Chains A and B, each alone.
Chain A
Amino acid sequence: MKKRGEILVENVIFIVLNIIFISLIIFFLFKQGSGAILFEQTYSKQIALMIDSAKPAMEIKLNMEKAHKITEENKLDFSEAVSITGNVVRVKLSQKGGYEYSFFNNVKVEAFPEKNEQNEYTGIYIFTINKNDKGK
């Protein structure tokens, strides 16, 4: 009877260890798939391509809810997430780092986050495209 008990404990430990191992791997996969670095690259390229296709006098709304969540987790203001300097888009979702990508369309772009009546961020970013009056 004593031996049977020992076997059971060993099995339980073995199963628990396996569950811990699988959980760690799943956690690692989720963490990698929802990382700030990955989304910084995705959003900056998406925004650059969007601006490339745009024409002056356009206003584009981009749903960036995932970016909003990541900035909240990293204690970063959502208004700092996207910045456009010249023809370079910079997306920053964490305190460190950020990703830059350039666009070739010679337009003046302004980017700002949308807010609701309660002055809270909705997770949407607005891009206004205008003619670039500066030298080409």
Chain B
Amino acid sequence: MAQESHKLKGYKQDKKMINKKATEKILAIYWFAILIIIAGAVVTMVSLFYGTPYDVRDAEANIMINKVSNCLSENGKLAQELFIKNKNFNGNFSLKEKCNFVFETELKGDAGEYFLQTDFYNLNNTKIFSISDGNFNLYTDCKIEEDKYKRISKCVEREFYSLSPFSDGGIFKIKIISVVRKTEKNVK
């Protein structure tokens, strides 16, 4: 009886060892699966992070607005070139030419990646004059509500006040809208 019980004990111990080894193997498989999942996640996250281009269009649009404001207003007064006789605004004023811009880009066959619009208001907030340059189609993109749809281009709008270059003491509010598309280079 004692011998049989000893045999049974030994058999149970052997079975326990076999089960332990099997569990270890299963654990090892799980471990490798976890490693593969971690590696996959790291690779995906890294390629997503580094694969997305830097979006510099906001900075570009802001620089453009700074340039326009510098070329329209000198020492707090609007440029004389903006006006013709009788203190009327000059309809032939070209932002691209006067502010020294070049709108051609490295993107082949593009319809224009930039748009600029400058609106002049009097103190009653009535628009009295407007000049624009570049691809007008981009302006419609700015009208899209960003919380509902994704815009293709970046729109930046800023305003400042300036005095009339004449001695009449006129004050104007100038609103500048700058639009930069360049989606291919800035958005994935």
> Which A residues lie at the B interface, using CB under 8 A?
21, 24-25, 28-29, 32-33, 35, 38, 41-42, 45, 48-49, 52-53, 86-88, 100-102, 104-107, 132, 136
Query: Which B residues lie within 8 Å of A87 (CB)?
Result: 102, 104-105
Question: Are B46 and A32 in contact (CB-based, < 8 A)?
Answer: yes
Which segment of B49-57, B138-146, B149-157 sits at the interface?
Answer: B49-57
Contact with A along B100-124 (1 / 0, CB 8 A): 1111111100000110000000000
B67 at the interface (CB under 8 A from A): yes
Query: Which A residues lie within 8 Å of B50 (CB)?
Result: 32-33, 35, 38
Question: Are A102 and B104 in contact (CB-based, < 8 A)?
Answer: yes
A53 vs B43: C-alpha distance when bound (angstroms): 37
18 A–B contacts, CB within 8 A, in A order: A25-B39, A28-B43, A28-B46, A29-B42, A29-B46, A32-B47, A35-B50, A45-B56, A53-B63, A87-B105, A100-B106, A101-B106, A102-B105, A102-B107, A104-B60, A104-B103, A105-B100, A136-B97
A-B contact count (CB 8 A): 67
Query: Which A residues lie within 8 Å of B67 (CB)?
Result: 52, 105
Question: Are A49 and B60 in contact (CB-based, < 8 A)?
Answer: yes
Give the residue among B42, B59, B100 with the most A Cβ atoms within 10 A: B100
> In angstroms, how far is the closest chain B Cβ from the Cβ of A73?
18
Query: Which B residues lie within 8 Å of A104 (CB)?
Result: 60, 64, 101-103, 114
Chain A residue with the shortest CB-CB distance to B134: A104
Chain A residue with the shortest CB-CB distance to B59: A49
A21 vs B34: C-alpha distance when bound (angstroms): 12
Chain A residue with the shortest CB-CB distance to B104: A87
Question: Are A42 and B60 in contact (CB-based, < 8 A)?
Answer: no
A102 vs B5: C-alpha distance when bound (angstroms): 88
> In angstroms, how far is the closest chain A Cβ from the Cβ of B179?
12
Given A28-B42, A102-B106, A104-B114, 20 more contacts at CB 8 Å? A25-B38, A29-B42, A29-B46, A32-B46, A38-B50, A45-B56, A49-B60, A49-B63, A52-B60, A52-B64, A52-B67, A53-B63, A53-B66, A86-B104, A87-B104, A100-B106, A104-B103, A106-B102, A107-B100, A136-B97
Contact with A along B50-85 (1 / 0, CB 8 A): 100110100110011011000000000000000000
Q: Which residues 22-60 in B have Cβ within 8 Å of A in the complex?
A: 35, 38-39, 42-43, 46-47, 50, 53-54, 56, 59-60
> In angstroms, how far is the closest chain A Cβ from the Cβ of B105?
4
Chain B residue with the shortest CB-CB distance to A45: B56
A33 vs B38: C-alpha distance when bound (angstroms): 19
Chain A residue with the shortest CB-CB distance to B54: A45
Query: Which B residues lie within 8 Å of A102 (CB)?
Result: 104-107, 113
Query: Which B residues lie within 8 Å of A132 (CB)?
Result: 100, 102
> In angstroms, how far is the closest chain A Cβ from the Cβ of B21?
11
A10 vs B75: C-alpha distance when bound (angstroms): 79
